[in-house]
Structure 1
Amino acid sequence: MIQNTAPHHLHAILTRVRDSGKGQYAEGWVTVLGADWDSAEFSKRHAEVVNLLSLTVQQLQALPERSRGRFMRYVPAWWGAVIQPKVNWADNGRAAVQIVGLDLLDHLESAADIISGNLAGSEGAPAGADLTGISRQCQEWVELLLGLDDADLSDSLKGQLISQLRHVVWLIEHVDLFGEARVSGEVSRVIGSLAQASTVVGNRDPETAGKWKRAFLSLIALCAIFNTGAPVVRESIEVGSALVGEIATVVQDIQD
């Protein structure tokens, strides 16, 4: 089974912290996340681990009742392993091996396998592996946005979109750590934001609107291929977008 879901990567991270051989929780996390303790980068990377846990809980909620009930009882313990709210992470008396028990890791991996089976080929368990095209497209989007003036798009909205696109690129650069599902989820969020912004750009310069439309459809096509043709969060695309019909055609062409 392909290990491509959020819980698979959460399991891998917690296992690596546990097996790091470090004498403190903090040292174990620093080793696995590859960022200095107390740095903004460490906080950013650990926040992504929390995102993996959040996605795991969301996906468990989508399982059949029996499976959902069996695994949800372990969520507080998994949360405790990630957050450790009652202990000092820098305590020399708490070796990283104590951060989580093997039984909890086994249950997390079992949940991941079931989620993967239920969500195969979707945003939550994408089957694609080549993220180079998506990264390149996001970087091209950043250049496109930087080239727009205030008359085309406000600075605040432009800044938000650029931040989201750069975060996708960052996740792709760290896909071995946080996984394909995080990339897929963030790309869907970006598509939703771009779809809503398209209603603003579409009422401006026709040439700019044409460039926006072509880049938008290209990103949709790449995302559809990555998710093996699965629909990309319909709700986020439909909000305020006049391109849904053309997007559907592109996706259908890929599926055929």
Structure 2
Amino acid sequence: MSFSNENTAAHHLYTLLRDVRDSGKTSYAAGWARVLDAPWDSPEFARRHSEVVALLQLTLRQLNALPERSRLRSERHINAWWIAVMQPQAAWTDTNRPAHGLIDQNALDHLESTAELISGNLVGSDAAPRSGDLDEMAKQCHEWVDLLSAMSEEELNGPMRDGLISQVRHLIWLIEHVDLFGGARVAQEANGVIGSLTQASAVLVDPRPESASRWKSGFLALLAACVFFNQAAPIATESISSGADLVREISSVVDQVGGE
């Protein structure tokens, strides 16, 4: 039997829009600036509002995992949610158009209902993580930044290394702001980091023994932290063994390529 939590992208999108609507501000810009805790005309505001758009995008993607009737019922409100986030026909700084009048309560109600559907159907996955404990994932991310920063150009080409560092740092930033953007957004970005590290494993060039050992153990540790966060259960020994086999297979491919 499934149960619901409030750790989905849709739940956090709902909370943000509700708080903007109830902010009491006389303009949409001021409402968002208060809720996102960033000045309206600042790079930080753009960064944070782009994460709100990411929550909407993630919510729309997860609709496809719902049973057909639930999906079709929710999809009727997609445009209303997009308008609530973007307000393309309103001047955001117009003080004659307060935030309260720009977000439809009915659209918010349907968004919250959709969040419950996503949670009930997908709880225990990256769409609706069971855990709220991100300490281990944050620890592994910081260790990855240290490892990647210490790797030479000869081990991993500079652009790929710098791109990975930027991606991991963004994951750290999302963990630090999980109360604002939620666990599902963290889980999505963590999946992307793991995928990028997997691809990078295939192009490592003669890494130092210390780097190679830290890479393999770090990969498994981050994977375990993600599984724990999504399912609120320690990763099984069998899964660790499978992960170790995957790392060995990747290493074998790298060795074969390097020997050609």
* TM-score between both structures, scaled by the size of structure 2: 0.87
Q: In structure 2, what residue type is equivalent to 1:156?
A: P
Q: In structure 2, what residue type is equivalent to 1:220?
A: L
Aligned to 1:93: 96
1:73 CA drift (Å): 1.0
Aligned to 2:120: 117
Distance 1:244 1:2, change over 3 A: farther
Q: Residues 52-67 of structure 1 correspond to what in structure 2 (within 5 A)?
A: 52-67=55-70
Aligned to 1:13: 16
Structure 2: unaligned runs, 5 residues or longer: 236-244, 251-260
Pairing 1:3–2:2 present: no
| TM-superposition CA deviations, 1:38-87 (whole Å, max 9, x none) | 11100010000000000110011221111111110100010000000111
Distance 1:244 1:226, change over 3 A: farther
Distance 1:176 1:95, change over 3 A: same
Q: Does the Cα contact within 8 Å between 1:14 and 1:100 map onto a contact in 2?
A: yes
Q: In structure 2, what residue type is equivalent to 1:3?
A: E
Structure 1: unaligned runs, 5 residues or longer: 232-240, 247-256
Aligned to 1:70: 73
Q: In structure 1, what residue type is equivalent to 2:70?
A: S
Aligned to 1:182: 185
Aligned to 1:39: 42
Aligned length: 238
Aligned to 1:236: none
Pairing 1:131–2:104 present: no
1:105 CA drift (Å): 0.6
CA distance in 2, matches of 1:206, 1:195: 18
CA distance in 1, matches of 2:180, 2:159: 31
* TM-score between both structures, scaled by the size of structure 1: 0.89
Distance 1:165 1:214, change over 3 A: same
CA distance in 2, matches of 1:126, 1:46: 23
CA distance in 2, matches of 1:117, 1:230: 22
CA distance in 2, matches of 1:242, 1:161: 20
1:2 CA drift (Å): 1.4
Pairing 1:243–2:252 present: no
Q: Does the Cα contact within 8 Å between 1:202 and 1:209 map onto a contact in 2?
A: no
Residue 150 of structure 1: which of 133, 149, 153 is its match?
Answer: 153
Q: Does the Cα contact within 8 Å between 2:5 and 2:123 map onto a contact in 1?
A: no
Aligned to 1:166: 169
1:206 CA drift (Å): 3.2
Q: Does the Cα contact within 8 Å between 1:24 and 1:92 map onto a contact in 2?
A: yes
| TM-superposition CA deviations, 1:84-125 (whole Å, max 9, x none) | 011100011100101211111110000000000110100000
| TM-superposition CA deviations, 1:195-224 (whole Å, max 9, x none) | 111122274333321111011111111111
Q: Does the Cα contact within 8 Å between 1:121 and 1:230 map onto a contact in 2?
A: no
Structure 1 stretch displaced more, 115-124 or 97-106: 97-106
1:245 CA drift (Å): 7.2
Distance 1:18 1:230, change over 3 A: farther
CA RMSD of aligned residues (A): 2.0
Q: Does the Cα contact within 8 Å between 2:33 and 2:40 map onto a contact in 1?
A: yes
CA distance in 2, matches of 1:244, 1:72: 44
Aligned to 1:214: 217
1:242 CA drift (Å): 4.5
Q: In structure 1, what residue type is equivalent to 2:13?
A: L
CA distance in 2, matches of 1:204, 1:27: 51
